Amino acid sequence: MPTAEKTLDEILTLAAAHFKVPREKLSPDDDFFKTLGIDSLQALDLLTKLENHFHVELPDYELQGVADFRTLAGKIQARL
Amino acid sequence: MKQYQGQTISWDLRDGVIEMALHREPLNEIGSQTLEELEKFVGVLDALTHEAHALIIYSTLKGGFCAGADLRQLYGWFQEFGQSEVARHAREYLERIHAVMNALDAAPLTTIAAVHGVTFGGGFELALTCDMILADKLARFCFPELRLGLIPSFGGIPRLKRDVGNAVVRDLLLTGRSFNATKAQQIGLVSQIVGEGEVLRAARATASQMAKFDRITTQSAKRFMKPIPLDELRREIDIFCELLPQPAVHAGLKKFVENTTAQPYLP
């Protein structure tokens, strides 16, 4: 199982690639809606990408109120 | 009518395959205009099937296949008809949409839903009328209706029950959560998953394969494999219309319609 830090790093890398944002512009505590400039449909795309990458199923009700990469990584880590 | 270019849908019959495109902005919400055009399609379907062996339904919009029923229109009915009459109007609408969905479900040709992105609510229900669902790997499915105090009303529960186990049906309905194409394939809803942007090509290849088989045999096999749960579909309309006048529904719709944040598609 990857470490929490590695999971977080992979999420940041995936998000940067998917939304074509320089990786160095993303920080773990960023509000990803604001930093990536995405809406809820694009957030669902990101969720699907992450589920496919980590081979996990992440019910979206567990993401209520989650807007930063670090908390998101914790939710994914709990399912690995 | 081999070709039709409408406000919300279009179709084109070519080489034995009808391709129906959904293209109503913002995300193919199914309202009165879409219903009228779907009725137009169903009205010519028998004539088209003389020359067609397959139907592919897909979306031209980037965001996905279909976000479901037009909730703004449903909310508008509360203002137009009042709490006491809204159910009567909704029932008339649902009788019509069920007639369309049942006709698509029973269509005497092989039907393929080629979905990507958001496939929610009524959009999911439209896909479930098809003989098979092919999905882009970023497709996402959901029945969010309980968030509004309602149940799916375009035939969703009976058709979902037809295809998957009851434990899964209850999980998806009672949590209102969305799930990805991999999960959809694991539970038996999606037959093929393809890479991003490849789903229409895959659907065309699948339709081409089906053209090799005898049509009478294919139609007989379809009728045998895919009975239409008519009694449960009737019951679904009744339950929806019983729930619709509840104050919680009006409040839920109001909240959705007035939501100006960037997150209306998250629970």
Measured CA to CA, the distance from residue B6 to residue A43 in angstroms comes to 31
Pairing verdict, β B54-59 and B178-180: unpaired
Q: Do A66 and A49 form a contact (C-beta atoms < 8 A)?
A: no
Residue contact B266–A64, C-beta within 8 A: yes
Q: Cβ A39–B263 below 8 Å, yes or no?
A: yes
Domain tally, chain B: 1
Q: Is there a domain that residue B267 lies in?
A: no
Taking any CB pair shorter than 8 Å as contact, residues of chain A touching chain B are 33, 38-41, 43-45, 47-49, 51-52, 57, 59-61, 63-64
pLDDT value, residue B262: 47
Q: Which residues does chain B have within 8 Å of residue A39's beta carbon, measured at their own beta carbons?
A: 262-263
Is the CB of B91 inside 8 Å of chain A's CB atoms? no
CA–CA dist B66, B43 (Å, integer): 22
Which residues of chain B lie closer than 8 angstroms to A64, CB-CB?
A: 266-267
Judge: B179–A57 Cβ closer than 8 Å, yes or no: yes
Question: For residue B206, what are the domain limits?
Answer: 3-258
pLDDT at B183: 95
Q: What count of residues does chain B have?
A: 267
Single pTM value for the model:
0.94
Q: Is B265 at the interface with chain A, CB within 8 A?
A: yes
- Contact assessment for residue B167 and residue B257, using Cβ atoms and an 8 Å cutoff: no
User: Is residue B221 situated within a structural domain?
Assistant: yes
ipTM for the predicted complex: 0.86
Give start and end residues of each alpha helix (H) in chain A.
Answer: 4-18, 32-36, 40-54, 69-77
In a domain, B264, yes or no: no
Q: The domain containing residue A33 runs over which residues?
A: 4-77
pLDDT along chain B (267 residues), means of 10: 95 96 96 98 95 97 94 91 89 97 97 97 97 97 92 96 92 93 96 96 96 92 94 97 92 83 53
Is pLDDT larger for residue A49 or for residue B263? A49
The structural domain count of chain A equals: 1
Evaluate whether residue B266 is within a structural domain.
no
Strand partners, B194: B136
Query: Exposed (0-12), middle (13-18) or buried (19+): which is B14, by Cβ within 10 Å?
Result: exposed
Q: Residue B78 belongs to a domain with what CATH number?
A: 3.90.226.10
Please, are residues B237 and B96 in contact by the beta-carbon 8 Å criterion? no
Q: Tell me, what CATH number does A32's domain have?
A: 1.10.1200.10
Tell me the shortest Cα–Cα distance from B143 to chain A, in angstroms. Answer: 13
3-state secondary structure of B141: strand
